[in-house]
Amino acid sequence: MVQVAVMGHGVVGSGVVEVLMKHAQSIAKRAKEEICVKKILDLREFPDSPYADRFTKSFDDILSDPEIRVVAEVMGGLHPAYEYTKQLMEAGKSVVTSNKELVAQKGAELLAIAQKMNVNYLFEASVGGGIPIIRPISQCLAANDVQEIAGILNGTTNFILTKMIHEQMPFSEALALAQKLGYAERNPAADIEGQDACRKICILASLAFGRHVYPSQVHTEGITQITLADVDYAESWGGVIKLIGEVKMQESGKVQMIVCPMFVSRESQLATVDDVFNGIMVRGDATGDVVFYGKGAGKLPTASAVVADIIDCVKHFKARKYLFWEDGDPNYVEDYLDNSVSMYVRAAVGDHADAEEAIHRVFGKVDFLTRRDAGSEELAFVTLSMPERVIDEKLEELKKSGVTVAGKIRVGDF
């Protein structure tokens, strides 16, 4: 029998205990050992829990218990999760987590400690909830050079965008609905500003290319500026707007990375990833495009991924799983303004004919888009692909001709 501990008894933590109990028999069969929850760490009281006797408020009860060999850290946040994880691994225990913030900030350091101590640090649940993605990237694609990863990594924003696209619901109303349904938190900033998606693409990029990317290195834009007019223009262009986290390996050995809303072609498998679902496209040189789709969050999907990691730890007390990446480098991520991109622009203009002429003069060939209900002072177009810095210069130049940018969205090329 293997004793484990669960740190945090919120949504995911209580799910982990539930899954471990409910599936105890089949888990024992797969892990080849019975798995028993010995301690649950939470500062709150849960007197009515059937496991009330296992709760503790003291981290030391877990750290100093030699019987506990695997700990699930599902507290979230950087502190004290970071210090706890370090101490646990230094004490010879394996740790599994759903804590994307911690992995994105401290992954390289924690993986190095795991390697040194010959324990495991696993985090399947940190990206894509119940979608298997960390293992497939690290193992099944072992014989591939991954070239690019692009994903819809945040369910909350995808729910909001889906409501805007399919029901013409304005952003603020869709956000309020998401909050009402429990998909968005009362302070939704981490979701709608793109930070959550940024953490996840940092983890995937670090894993796929072997070098840590820190969230602060990645240009990140959220979805708060998206209007129903943009949604309509995307439709007339032939696609939908999705919040995308993307990383591409360059010939130079550096990566291009960005998190932002993008026009996604209806031809793309990511275009039909709706509601709270996530979809992640991994482009390998041998496999071509592989897409993983499923619920990216939620109690049971995420908990089942945490439990799968616990099982893996139990099966691999001797053989360490191969999860590792080097520390980061401040020059590893290209300045996003140097990336070539095709840009959708919605502009406020005076005279239409004059504006079109000016846009052609400055940008050369563009595709003008139309929508119903567009006022006479609105004009939208999509540029050819060019470095974003050049696009910004040209848009600046257009101001002189009375063409003012009201909104712009990058066009995805996957």
Does 286 bind a second copy (CB under 8 A)? Our answer is yes
Among 4, 202, 300, 313, binds a second copy (CB under 8 A): 300
Annotate 152-214 with DSSP letters as a single string: E--HHHHHHHHHHHHH---HHHHHHHHHHTTSS-SS-HHHHTSHHHHHHHHHHHHHHHSB---
Phi then psi for 284, rounded to 5 degrees?
-110, 155
Among 292, 374, 387, 392, binds a second copy (CB under 8 A): 292
State the minimum distance, in angstroms, from the CB of residue 178 to a second copy: 18
Does 289 bind a second copy (CB under 8 A)? Our answer is yes
Does 293 bind a second copy (CB under 8 A)? Our answer is yes
From 98-106, 200-208, 284-292, 387-395, give the range in contact with a second copy by CB under 8 A. 284-292
State the minimum distance, in angstroms, from the CB of residue 364 to a second copy: 33
Catalytic residue among 39, 93, 106, 200: 200
Among 54, 135, 219, 254, binds a second copy (CB under 8 A): 135
Q: Which is nearer to a second copy, 41 or 131 (CB)?
A: 131
Token pair listed for 91: 């004490």
Tally of CB atoms within 10 A around 199:
27
Tally of CB atoms within 10 A around 55:
19
Active site residue 399: no
Token pair listed for 394: 């040209």
Q: Which of 412, 389, 407, 391 is nearest to 247 (CA)?
A: 412
Does 290 bind a second copy (CB under 8 A)? Our answer is yes
Tally of CB atoms within 10 A around 118:
13
* Cβ partners under 8 Å of residue 372, min gap 6: 232
Q: How far apart are CA 414 and CA 402, in angstroms?
A: 34
List the interface residues with a second copy, window 27-46 (CB under 8 A).
27, 30-32
Among 36, 46, 295, 374, binds a second copy (CB under 8 A): 295
Q: Which of 134, 101, 125 is nearest to 12 (CA)?
A: 125
Among 103, 113, 141, 362, binds a second copy (CB under 8 A): 141
Tally of CB atoms within 10 A around 34:
14
What strands lie across the sheet with 94-97, from one edge to the other? 55-56, 35-41, 2-7, 68-73, 94-97, 121-122
Match 């979701």 to its residue by tokens: 191
Which residues are bridge partners to 68 per DSSP?
Answer: 3
Does 365 bind a second copy (CB under 8 A)? Our answer is no
**Amino acid letter at 15?**
G
Among 132, 170, 387, 407, binds a second copy (CB under 8 A): 132
Q: Which is nearer to a second copy, 8 or 128 (CB)?
A: 128
Q: Which is nearer to a second copy, 321 or 346 (CB)?
A: 321
Q: Which is nearer to a second copy, 4 or 403 (CB)?
A: 4
State the minimum distance, in angstroms, from the CB of residue 303 to a second copy: 7
Which residues are bridge partners to 405 per DSSP?
Answer: 347
Number of amino acids touching a second copy (CB under 8 A): 51
State the minimum distance, in angstroms, from the CB of residue 37 to a second copy: 13
Does 26 bind a second copy (CB under 8 A)? Our answer is yes
Does 181 bind a second copy (CB under 8 A)? Our answer is no
List the interface residues with a second copy, window 303-362 (CB under 8 A).
303-305, 307-308, 311-312, 315-316, 318-319, 322
Q: How far apart are CA 412 and CA 390, in angstroms?
A: 18
**Amino acid letter at 246?**
E
Tally of CB atoms within 10 A around 182:
9
Q: Which is nearer to a second copy, 5 or 308 (CB)?
A: 308
What is the contact surface with a second copy in residues (CB under 8 A)? 19-20, 23, 26-27, 30-32, 124, 129-132, 135-136, 139-145, 269, 272, 284-295, 298, 300-301, 303-305, 307-308, 311-312, 315-316, 318-319, 322
Active site positions, annotated: 200
